[in-house]
Every structure is written in C-alpha cells, then in structure tokens.
Structure 1
Amino acid sequence: MKTKIFTSIFLLLTFLTTTSFISNYKIASDEIQGEVIWEGKNCDFYIIETRRYYVLVELYRGRLDKGDKVEGELHRYGFKYLKNLRTDSEIKVYIENYWSSKETCFEWLKDNNKCEFR
C-alpha cells in the first residue's frame, strides 16, 4: 500500500515538474527583446532592432520613444501586445515586417507612402 502511494506521489510530482518546465520554456521562447532605433515623424511607425533582425511596427496604443527597450512576440505578423521595459507599460502594435534588414523596413515605408517617405 505504501509503495502505491509513494509511486503515485512520485508520478504526480514528475508530471507537474515536467509540464511546468515546458510551459515556462514556451512562454520564454515567445518573448523577444528589442530596442526602438527609429521613430517616424508625423506617423506611428517604429523600427525595433533585436539581436538578429529588425521589426517594423505601427503603434496603436501606448507610447514608444527612440531608445526604449521592448519585450514580446516580435516574430509574427499582426496585432501584438508588447511590454515597454522603460515605462513598465503595455503597448499595442501591429507588426508589418519582421526578420528584416533596416533597409527593407525603410523600403516598405517608402513603397506604402508612410511617414512622408517618397
């Protein structure tokens, strides 16, 4: 009887430990940090530099300034909620382009007539 209880507790703890590590890893893998390196004049577009690539975002809610550090899901298109680490606040952006070069981001702005690029 004691062996069954011991075995059950061991299996339960193993399961809980394994699933908690898997969940934390998934959350951590979606969180990418970057720094705002360019902000458009008279528009809501920003370029964020990560360790490996550049991300072009359009700001929908919150505030961003050049030099701000952000964290979040910077590797998928669409609306995303990011954390502004400088202000400890949540911002809402639309990711227009990711895994890009800085030049590609500027080309997109020009091709789409954004931020007075022509």
Structure 2
Amino acid sequence: MPDPPFVSTFIAIGLLPVAFLFIHAFLSGLKDWRFHRLTGLLAIVWDLSMSIGYMLFRTFGGEVEGSSLELTGGILAYFIIHGIVAVIVIILEFSVLYTGWAASKERPAGDWHKKLTRILFV
C-alpha cells in the first residue's frame, strides 16, 4: 500500500482538534460555560483556515503527490455533492460567527445563533 499524500495527511490531522473544539463549544454553549466564545471562535477559524487554505492550494495548481484521478460519472457526482456540502458548511460557519457576535451585542440576529449551531453541529 503506498504512503498517503503528505498534504492530505496534514489536513486530516490538522482538522482533528476542530472536532474537540466544536464539541466543547457546543456543550459549553448549552450549559453557559465560561470558554464558549473562545472555543467556538477557535473551532470555526481553524476549520475555515484549513479548509479554505486547502481549496485555494488545489485551485491554484497545488498538486498532491501520488494523486491522479480519472473523472468518471460517479466520482464527478461525488465531487459535486462534496463541493455543495462544503459551501453550505462554510456559509453556516460564517453565519454562526456573525450570529454569535450579534448575540454578544444583544442584536436581533443573535436569536438565530442556537438554531444555526444545532444545524452546524449535525
């Protein structure tokens, strides 16, 4: 079995802490714990920077060593669906950041924060 590409491995390992931060932020938001804002902000910023950074890397010619794909119908459909889901998650993450900020300033958009975080958590 060949070694996995370094960039993909780096991204996969780099996203592991995001899962723990998201879980902590979600639970701390439910219980009004102290570090909710910090872990939520860290989780979203870390996830967005890794995800968008990798997308930009691949978009502007960054190659993952040892990777070559022939785009067949099934793989193309997978990438289209994956791209749509990624865009939805990115929009949700920006929305959660905004509504969290709005909630801290007691603005009307803050009411959406709990609703959006549940969707994002799933």
**Fold in common (TM above 0.5):** no
- Computing the radius of gyration from Cα coordinates, the structure with the larger value is 1
Q: Which structure has more strand as a fraction of its residues?
A: 1
Q: Which structure has more helix as a fraction of its residues?
A: 2
TM-score by length of 1: 0.28
